[in-house]
Structure 1
C-alpha cells in the first residue's frame, strides 16, 4: 500500500514508519518538526530513516531516503491546507495514519492556541483531504486523556467522556467526533486509537521515562506528582506499533465487523502500574537511587489510567507482551548509547 504517516519525526510516528518500511509498504512521512521539544532528537529519528538534516530542513519539498527506496519525507504542516491538498492529489494514498498533533497535557495550559491550530484545524484538513482523495482508511491518534475525571477502571471506549480536564484532551475528543461525522457523511473508514502512556527507545523528552532517567543519571531530584499516588498504563513502543500496523494493514480477525465505518479503540498494556514501581524499575536498571521531590497533583492530570483493550484483542488479535522491566531496560540502553552517558 501507499501510506501517509504524519508526525513522522515524532516518537510513535518514527517507529510506525520503520515497521511499515520493513514490511515493504511505500510511505510518505510528513512533519513540521516544531520546537515543542528538542529538534535534534527529531532530526536524529529522521536520519535513522535515511533523511539527512539538510534535506529535512527544506519546507514543502519531498525528499528521498538514502536508506529506503520506499520512503520519502516532506517537511510541512497539516495546517497548510494548500500543500496538504496538493500532496494528496499527487500521491493518491490508500491509507492515512495521522499522528501529527500538538502533544502534552501540561503544555496545553500554557499555549492553548497551538492545540486548536494543530489538533483541530489541522485534523479537519486531514479529513477534507481524505474525503476528496477517496482514501480508503484514516487511522488517527486520540489519547487516554479523553477519559478525564472518569473514576471507573479499566477505561472502556463505551464510557462517557464528556468531562475532559485539559484542552489537549478536549481537542482529542473533538477529533473523534469529527471523524465520526466524516465517516458517516462521506462513507470512508476511520479508526481512532486512544494511546496510553507510551514509552521506549527514542521516546519524548517531556515524558516520565525520559525525565526520570535523565535526572537520576545527573544526580538531580525527580518531580513525583501527587506524591507518587499515581498509576499509569505504561505501554512499550513495540506493543503500540504492533497494534497500529495491524490496523493499517487491515489484518483483522473474523470477529471484526467490516460494515462499520467508524471505530474507536484503546491501545495500551491492559495493566495499570504504580508510579513508584515504575521509578523503582528505573532505579534498579541504573543501579542508582532517585532523590524524589514529592509534588502535589498537576492541573489537568489524572490519578490513574488503565486501558480495557478487549475490543482491540477481539478485532485485531492485539497482544501487548512487554514487561515493565524489559521495556525500561531497552529505553535506558538506548538513552546511554544515544547520549553517550
Structure 2
C-alpha cells in the first residue's frame, strides 16, 4: 500500500489536477472578500454549517437533511469506509478509477475487489456480478470516471444498485460537465450515496465535498463526522459562491466549449488517440513513448498527468481543459514533443 501522491511540479501551465482554469467572476470575488473580512476567526465555525448546508441543498435541489458536508470528497469517502468497516468487509472498485477509492478502503481495513473495465471503459457486468456475489459493503463508482472521463452505462449502474448488498457510492465530482446525475435515485434506492464537490467548478481551494443520501444514511455518517470539519472561511465563501449559480454555470459552459475544441485538435493530431469524455479533462493514448512526450511537455513548462504506469493505460496521458491560451500553448508544446520522438 502506497500513499496517494498529489504531484507537485513546477510549470507555467498547469493542466494536471482537473481544476477549473477560470477564477470566479469579479463581482462574486468582491462579495466573498467583503464577507470574509467580517468572519470572527477567533471563534469556532458553526459545527453543522447550517447556512452552507441550506445553500448546497438549494444548489442540488434536495432537502437539507439529505446533505452531509466534508473537507473535500476524500473525507466523506473515508467516513463511509469507516462506517462499513467490520472484520472481513469488502469494497468493490472498478479499475482504472480514482486511486483514492482503493487507498481509503484499504486504510480502513477493507479488502478491495478491483474489477477491470471493458475496452470502452464501461463496467464489465459479468465480473461485477461475480464481485457483488462476494457481498461488498461498499461499491465506489466515478460518474464520470476519473481518469477515463467516461460515464458508465446507467443501465449497468442501476443493475449494480439493485444487486449490491451495501452502499453504492456514485461520485459525481465531474457531474457539472456531464449534465448527468443519480441524485433522484436516492428516493427509490436507499443504498445510493451521491458525492458532489465544488473543486472542479472554480472553488478547489475551499476543499468542500458534499454527500447527498437518504436521511437515514446521513444520520449514521454524522455519528462519526468530526466536529468543525468545515472551517468558517470555507462556509462563508462557498455559501456566497453557490448563491450565484448563473456565474458558476457560465464558467462550466466555457470549459465545455474549450473541451470540445481541444478534443477536435487532439483527434487531428497524428500519433494520438483521444478517448470520449464527459468531464473537464481528456485522456489520450500515444503511439510513441508517453514518458518521453510527458518529459518534452515538462521541459516546455506544460504539466499534464502521466498515467502510463496505470494498469490498462499504457502510453496514456491526461490533460485538464485550460483557458484558450493554455490549451493553445499545450498543443504547440505537444507538437514539438511529438517531433522529438519521431
Fold shared per TM-score above 0.5: no
**TM-score, length basis structure 2:** 0.29
RCO comparison, higher one (Cα < 8 Å, 6+)? 2
In terms of Rg, which structure is larger?
Answer: 2
**TM-score, length basis structure 1:** 0.29
